Amino acid sequence: MAEIAVYPGSFDPVTNGHLDIIKRSNNIFDKVIVAVFNNPTKRPLFDMEERVEMLERAVKDYDSVEVDCFAGLLTTYLKEKEAKVIVRGLRAVSDFESEFQMASMNKKLASDIETIFMMTSTEYAYLSSSIIKEVASFEGCVRDLIPEFIVDRLFERLKERDQLL
């Protein structure tokens, strides 16, 4: 049976750190579903459709990577997709606590689902969507850190939202 992995996240927007995890997961699993989480408690910079569309464009060269979105429990989503593996990335020690809590809760909810952690590549260790948005809001250069086609869109959106400082 094909081993399907789900890589969930906010991807607001996708960064080269995310793409590194996707590429490496694609080398291990038969199919990787990058699943954009619709978190009702957060107001994202890019709406769900935009985040999905940007990811689709960023992963277009990978045949066995699919982009989707979900709301509700991640474990329920995995069952729908007949997937048994959750992929998450780990950067600093500070990621560990919340990831450990989430993985433990997901194990409690669905004991047959495993969370696999992939260590960040050192060149992306400091990268997060939040820091990209923060640097861009001060008009700092984010080239080489996110896909090229997102750079202008990011600045435009920050301007529209009056978030260029």
Q: Which residues are catalytic?
A: 18, 42, 91, 129
Closest to 72 (Cα-Cα) out of 26, 38, 24, 106: 38
Q: Candidates 47-55, 64-72, 83-91, 152-160: pick the segment binding ligand ADP (CB under 6 A).
A: 83-91
- Least distance CB 1 / ligand ADP (angstroms): 25
133 forms part of the interface with ligand ADP (CB under 6 A): no
Contact set for ligand ADP, span 90-129 (CB under 6 A): 91, 95, 120, 124, 127-129
Of 5, 78, 89, 151, the one binding ligand ADP by CB under 6 A: 89
Of 4, 5, 6, 17, the one binding ligand ADP by CB under 6 A: 17
11 forms part of the interface with ligand ADP (CB under 6 A): yes
CB atoms within 10 A of CB 49: 10
Q: DSSP assignment of 106-160, as one string? A: HHHH-TT-EEEEEEPPGGGTT--HHHHHHHHHTT---BTTB-HHHHHHHHHHHHH
